[in-house]
């Protein structure tokens, strides 16, 4: 990942974190308040059934979910939740009832093939 891309990703993550906090205080507008979390306030894929995790992403469009004790991901419903420089890749996570559950997509950088530079 290039330095500018890493900075954009960090800025996006911080923006999402800031936006998520007030929404949680106002009630279940995102659907995340009902979701089991790992104590950090984020829905935890390991505590949800496959259908519940996939449904949460489908309803909210984009969700930051815990995937392990110290790991989390932003999972999206479709490419409309990614930046113009990104595309989607299918994301499979462990859930309460499945080892590999398709929960949605990850936003990843588009291939830089054919471009010169760092």
Q: Tell which residue, 4, 19, 5, has the closest CA to residue 109.
A: 5
pLDDT digits (tens, 9 = 90+) for 55-110: 999 999 999 999 999 999 999 999 999 999 999 999 999 999 999 999 999 999 99
Q: Where are the domains of the chain?
A: 3-109
The burial of 19, by beta-carbon neighbours within 10 Å (0-12 exposed, 13-18 middle, 19 or more buried), is given as exposed
What gap in Å lies between CA 30 and CA 70, rounded to an integer?
A: 23
pTM above 0.75, yes or no: no
């Amino acid at each position: 990942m290039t330095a500018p891309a890493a900075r954009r990703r960090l800025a996006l993550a911080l923006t999402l974190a800031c936006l998520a906090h007030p929404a949680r205080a106002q009630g279940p507008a995102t659907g995340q308040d009902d979701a089991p979390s790992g104590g950090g306030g984020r829905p935890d894929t390991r505590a949800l059934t496959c259908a519940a995790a996939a449904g949460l992403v489908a309803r909210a469009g984009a969700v930051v979910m815990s995937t392990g004790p110290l790991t989390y991901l932003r999972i999206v419903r479709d490419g409309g939740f990614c930046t113009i420089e990104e595309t989607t890749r299918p994301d499979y996570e462990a859930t309460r009832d499945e080892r590999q559950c398709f929960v949605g997509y990850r936003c990843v950088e588009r291939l830089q093939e054919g471009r010169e530079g760092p």
